[in-house]
Chains A and B, each alone.
Chain A
Amino acid sequence: MPIRQSRWFSTFAGIAILLLSVPSARAETLTVWAMGEEGLRIAAMARKFEAETPGVKVITQAIPWDAAHEKLLTVVVGGLPPDVSQMGTTWMAEFATLQAFEPLDDYVRQSGIVKQDKFFSGSWQTGVVKGRLYGIPWYVDTRVLFYRKDLLAQAGIPHPPRTWNELKAACKVLRKDSDRNGKADSYGITLPVRDWGVFLSFVWQNGGDVFRPASPEYIEAMKYYASFFREDLAPSGRAADIDLFQAFKTGFYAMFISGPWMVELIDRELPELKGKWGAALMPKKKHGTSFVGGSNLVVFKDSKKKELAWKFVEFMSRTDNQIEWHRMLNSLPAVKDAWNAPALAKHEMLRVFGDQMEDVQSPPNVPEWEQIASLINTRMESVILSPRGEGDKIEQVMREHQREVEDAVKERETSGVRVDQFLYTALAMACGVAFLYFYISHRVSTVDAKSNRRTLPRNERASSFFNTLRRAYPGYLFILPSVMVLTLFLFIPILASFLISLTDWNIYSLADRGRLNFVGFKNYMDVVHDQVFWKSLWNTLFFTAVGVPFTIMISLLCAVVLNEKFVRWKTFFRTAFFLPVISTIVAVAVVWRWIYNPEYGLLNWFMKSVGLPEFNWLSDPSTALASLILMAAWKNFGYNMVIFLAGLQSIPEALYESARIDGANVWQLFLHVTLPGLRTTTVFVAVMSTIGYLQFFAEPYVMTNKGGPLNSTMSIVLYMYNQGFKFFQLGYASALAYILFGIIFAFTFLQIRLRKSGFETPV
């Protein structure tokens, strides 16, 4: 029999492998990644490169900007990077520390095309990390002030604001509230709520420093920036969500700060504004600094076609291609020669960018930059969105911010525990635990099975452990595939995860094994001081505590109603109620984002037509979580309803009959017959829903841009995902997973205990 079975197995496995093996292309292919619009347009350059380089096929892939960082980290950690990629200048240090890039110094030395003096010096430096060159500037990017000439002139402002004071004064003049309802009808400027690039420009203009947020210069800049929102000189909340082109066209605001791509976009989207708008240098305080960024092109160390990849980088750095790229995307060339092209030198708006490039600053080239940037964004948002009147707290917030920035860049001391040793220990421990478990279970089951022993031949009774194994062979063979898969992908990972949670495993120790440290329960201790964790814990508990009873109530109601004997088309209704359950959350989220849209959404339309107040559902921190609960209830009630329906079937009809004879009305029947009869079912539903709701992830991931606004929809699982697969803080993320497990365990235990005590009380 075992032989038959194994043949069956290999046949099956063979078929499966055949089905899944994908023929790999033999032609020389080059994979190039680029973000956003660049990713879509780069295909044209790729075709040109293919034409110049016969026998090469370039595969381009567009990565959305907001997913790009985690995507790149994942592929680098996974060892599957593209050959060439666009790389944001602020990410260079981080990825260079991960040893993700091929150093390019030698390539440049031998190159006839790429030479340092051909590039803007400030932009060249973004490709250099710790003295080695890893990236070649592709295009540069800076921010300037866009303004409506006509609107400023109408308001009696002769030229675009050149200083902080002029900017503030202009905004005060331009803010209009013609119907005097306290809500402005038009503003002077719109400023981003979460964009460190624009905000830091103001900090730099005042002589501030990213690493010293508690300094007076920094605080003054923050106060200046926030004052636009506090004095209602810049739109916030719903008003800020209005489409930029629409707002600029109607004059809802007369100024905004943005990058070079806007020049082309305004021309295209708002042709009627031609000649009525302009671009100006950033307003000055001590300096007129703007942020400089842009993108470099990098070659990955794990690429198998580095020579070809470098050829592509050279191709993109050629002056003619730089000009062509500018023509396609209006991005600013990194090669100085390209600026002599008429399209740039004679362009009224783009020239401004050229001038602005004289006074620019880039964020510090430290590997922790992404983390710091995200901290700045959060602080920015919290200061701006905090209730008015809390202005005095800015100093305190900035002191906290300084501490967290210092924490982020703090040098970690390394102890040199080898990761391989660590892994072997983990594996040995796992095997040990498994062996102990089965040995003990064998001892217990020999005791358990004593009664069964009678059927066995006498000489096998005093069997050894291994004898048992032999006798049990068929059974083990049947569970072997399952146990193997579960051991590899469930049991060992569960243990390994715990061990990882005791280390400081992060991206750097992934790249350099010597940097892994055993830190004991430090990760669990750190959680205590982690504000985002507490926020996510609170959100998760709130989501569960409100969501579970809410969903169960709806489910129960539907089940009871649907269970009425006279109701027709039962299957039809049940099917309809079940549709949300089976549909993919990502697809559902697309529709629900529309339902919650503050301007065109169904929900606000409904609220308005019945005379209720409208909300900015998903972008207001106070309603975002509630919106997700509503959606989750919609998605899940059908599942519980089916379980309740089954539970209702099992309540004997006689109980209802006798209650009716006793004169009970509908409500009393429900209260005294239905509810007690459903006790077991309810506990089951509650336990399952709680376990599910405590793990909510996809809802905030797709609906509220990964936990926003202000982390008001950050869940534990999402936070764990962020820590684990966005920042690759694997140790910390594992600790979070175990904490979640602890919470789920506690809840389940509690609910089952409650049920037990519930059974003992007479119904």
Chain B
Amino acid sequence: MKAPAVTRIIERTTVYVALITVFTIAVIPFVWMITTSIKPGEGIFTCPPRWFPEHPTLMWYKQLFRDVDFMLHFKNSLIVSVTTTALNLFFCSLAGFAFAKLRFAGRNRIFTLLMATLMIPGQITMIPVFLFLKKLGLLNTYWGLILPSCVGIFGIFLIRQFMLTVPDDLIEASRIDGCSDFRIYWSVVMPLCKPVLATLGIFTFMGSWNDFLWPLIVMVGEDRYTLPVALANLNGQYATKFGLLMAGAVVVVIPIILIFVLAQKYVIRGIATTGLKE
């Protein structure tokens, strides 16, 4: 029985070596991002790379919030992401509920139509929506970012799939008790949907927080830039001030990483669900 034991050891070593290699590759850029952001001016351009600064400093962060006013961009990002997420949760769950639990003419047709448009690349709508927002006077406003993305077809789909699993008997019972449809949605079904709402909430927030192309087009004034646009702008302006850029990158990335680490259960579950159900 010795041979299997040896094989097992080899197998396990290989697996751990592979895992640690991938782990290193996945994490190195983040480590470098953080250590560079606390390195004083010199020492960024050294070869071989020096990983940890001898004299850590917060000067780049100070500069980031004092001279570049990253707080303002942080606020912009937060307002847009939070509002987009809230609206998405409300609108998508309303629609998801209707598609899952209410019966009305054309329900499946409309749902199929929505699913079909999932495949259309977002770029197709960019130009008309830009002109439309211009007509409405919504360019350079938070609403210009929020309105076009306040309902996601993917969100409707996700919530509908989850709501399908809520037993019909429960809904029928509430209806017999005299609950209106909205009451059933709000007081009976929604509380059961907390996990999927968490999933959708985190997804929408991440998508909105990380969005780059649309804010780049809509937000004209520097005071309205969201974090990714502000960072790209910084990149254009101070291409060689790596410490400052890395500090900016850390500020953009950290909130989203925190949210993910705290709520990763929902993220993973959400992705896994979409992958299997189609």
Interface residues of A (CB under 8 A from B): 1, 4-5, 8, 12, 16, 19-20, 22, 36, 61-62, 64, 66-67, 71, 74-75, 77-80, 437-438, 441-442, 444-446, 448-449, 452, 468-469, 471-472, 474-476, 478-479, 481-483, 485-486, 488-494, 496-497, 500, 554, 557-558, 561-562, 564, 566-567, 571, 573-580, 582-592, 594-595, 599-600, 602, 605, 609, 634, 638-639, 642-643, 645-647, 650, 666, 680-681, 684-685, 691, 694-695, 697-698, 701-702, 717, 720-721, 724-725, 730, 733-734, 737-738, 740-741, 744-745, 748
Q: Tell me whether A584 and B105 are in contact (CB under 8 A).
A: no
Q: Is the CB of B98 within 8 A of A478?
A: yes
Main secondary structure of the interface of B (DSSP, over half): helix
Given A448-B108, A486-B153, A582-B206, the answer on whether A643 and B231 have CB atoms closer than 8 Å is no
Inter-chain CA distance A571–B23, complex, in Å, is: 12
**Distance of A483 Cα from B150 Cα, bound (Å):** 11
A717 to chain B, nearest CB (A): 5
Tell me which of A586, A717, A741 contacts B231 (CB under 8 A).
A586
| Other A-B pairs beyond A78-B220, A482-B91, A584-B253, 18, CB < 8 Å | A16-B83, A20-B143, A78-B134, A80-B140, A441-B110, A475-B103, A483-B95, A485-B150, A485-B151, A490-B117, A494-B124, A573-B19, A586-B231, A590-B242, A643-B275, A645-B272, A733-B127, A734-B124
Contacts of B22 in A (CB 8 A): 554, 558, 577
Q: A78-B139, A479-B94, A591-B32 are in contact. Are A605 and B257 (CB under 8 A)?
A: no
Given contacts A474-B181, A586-B231, contact A591 B105 (CB under 8 A): no
Question: Contact at A681–B276, with CB atoms within 8 Å?
Answer: yes
The answer for the CA separation of A742 and B248 in the assembled complex, in Å, is 38
| In the complex, residue of chain B having the shortest beta-carbon distance to the beta carbon of A467 | B105
27 A-B pairs within 8 Å (CB atoms) are namely A1-B181, A67-B236, A74-B220, A445-B105, A472-B104, A474-B181, A475-B104, A478-B98, A478-B185, A557-B18, A574-B264, A583-B256, A584-B256, A586-B212, A587-B250, A588-B253, A589-B235, A590-B242, A595-B29, A599-B47, A605-B48, A642-B268, A643-B276, A646-B271, A691-B121, A725-B217, A745-B119
Flag B134-152 by CB within 8 Å of A: 1 or 0 each.
1000011011001110110
The reply on B260 being an interface residue by CB < 8 A is: yes
- C-beta contact mask, B221-233 vs A, less than 8 Å → 1, else 0? 1100001110111
Question: Cβ of A602 and Cβ of B49 under 8 Å apart?
Answer: yes
Is B113 part of the contact surface with A, judged by Cβ < 8 Å?
yes
- Provide the bound-state CA to CA distance between A442 and B109, in Å: 9
B180 interfacial contact with A, CB 8 Å: yes
Q: Quick check: is B120 within 8 A (CB to CB) of the other chain?
A: yes
- In the complex with contacts A605-B47, A730-B127, A468-B121 CB distance below 8 A: no
Shortest Cβ distance from residue A22 to the other chain B in the assembled complex, whole angstroms: 8
Within the complex, the shortest CB–CB distance from B133 to chain A, in Å, comes to 8
Closest 8 CB pairs of A and B: A475-B104, A646-B272, A472-B104, A64-B236, A643-B275, A441-B109, A478-B98, A587-B249
Alpha-carbon distance between A634 and B23 when the two chains are bound, in angstroms = 11
Complex Cα–Cα for A476 and B105 (A) = 9
Chain B's closest residue to A15 (CB) is B86
B183 nearest in chain A by CB position: A1
Complex Cα spacing A78 to B49, Å: 46
Whether A562 contacts B232 by the Cβ 8 Å rule is no
Q: Complex formed: what's the CA distance from A588 to B257 in Å?
A: 13
Q: Which A residues are in CB contact (< 8 Å) with B90?
A: 12
B12, B36, B180: the one within 8 Å of A4 (CB): B180
List B contacts of A554 (CB < 8 A).
22
Cross-chain contact A500 with B15 (CB below 8 angstroms): no
Report A-chain residues with C-beta under 8 Å of the C-beta of B231: 584, 586-587, 590
Please report the C-alpha to C-alpha distance between residue A332 and residue B91 in the assembled complex, in whole angstroms: 58
The answer to whether B268 and A590 touch across the interface, beta carbons within 8 angstroms, is no
Q: Does B210 contact A (CB under 8 A)?
A: yes
Residues of A within 8 A of B210 (CB): 582-585
**Residue among A579, A599, A643 making CB contact with B257, cutoff 8 Å:** A579
What is the distance, in angstroms, from A6's C-beta to the closest C-beta of chain B?
10
Residues of chain B within 8 A (CB-CB) of A62 are 222, 237
Interface assignment of B191: CB less than 8 Å from any CB of chain A: no
Nearest-Cβ distance from residue B206 to partner chain A, whole angstroms: 6
Residues of B within 8 A of A1 (CB): 180-183
Q: Roughly how many angstroms separate A578 CA and B109 CA in the complex, as a whole number? A: 36
> B266 contacts which chain A residues (CB < 8 A)?
none
The interface residues of chain A lying within 8 Å CB-to-CB of B260 are: 575, 578-579, 582
Whose C-beta in chain B lies nearest to the C-beta of A587?
Answer: B249
Q: Tell me the bound Cα distance from A20 to B214 in angstroms.
A: 19
Query: By the criterion CB–CB under 8 Å, are B271 and A639 in contact?
Result: yes
- The residue in chain B whose Cβ has the minimal distance to the Cβ of A482 is B95
**Cα(A446)–Cα(B108), bound, Å:** 12
The residue among A12, A62, A702 with the most chain B CB atoms within 10 A of its own CB is: A702
Q: Which residues of B contact A482 (CB under 8 A)?
A: 91-92, 94-95, 151, 156
CA distance A578 to B151 in the complex (A): 26
Q: Does B26 contact A (CB under 8 A)?
A: yes
The answer to the question of B158 belonging to the interface, with a C-beta cut-off of 8 Å to chain A, is no
